[in-house]
Amino acid sequence: MKEYKANRRAPIPYLIVLLVLLPFVIYITNTEGFSERPYILLPLIAPMGLLLRVFYGTLYKVEDGKLMYKSGFLWSEINISNIRQLVIGETMWVGLRPASKGIIVKYNRYDEIYIAPENNLELVEDLKTINPSIEIIYKD
């Protein structure tokens, strides 16, 4: 089994910092209101938790002839023998998109998913080793 970490150059780190700093800004601007109603921070906890889960919980694995991906609450696996094409360097703006930059994996007849490992070429080489018939398209 080989694991590939997710590319973390997305805007998520900036959103996490914003959500962490926001309670301090609320406290500084309205100390009395914050002291009386500390529960006003509750709406910030869920989005921050989701962002942290996606940011730190995204990973990809190649194991037993399958490409497995997990991002937040989204996870699945693809038989590498069913992968038809890998498009590297293009952004997929529609469809299932659990990542920010990376590879469009086209499999089965019409299915595709967008993934973003730290090292695109390493994953592509490993997939190509298992299924040499995969068509590779580079877009830059």
For residue 63, the model assigns a pLDDT of: 94
**Can you give the pLDDT at residue 24?**
77
Provide the greatest CA pair distance for the chain: 66
Alpha-carbon span 78 to 89, nearest angstrom: 21
Please state the φ and ψ torsions of residue 76, each to the nearest 5 degrees. -170, 180
Cα 68 to Cα 7: distance, rounded to the nearest angstrom: 16
Residue 22 has pLDDT above 90, yes or no: no
Q: What is the pTM of this model?
A: 0.75
pLDDT given for residue 99 in this prediction: 54
pLDDT in tens, 75-123: 999 999 999 999 998 776 655 555 556 899 999 999 999 898 988 999 9
Here the tokens at position 61 are 């694995």
In whole angstroms, give the CA distance from residue 104 to residue 115. Answer: 6
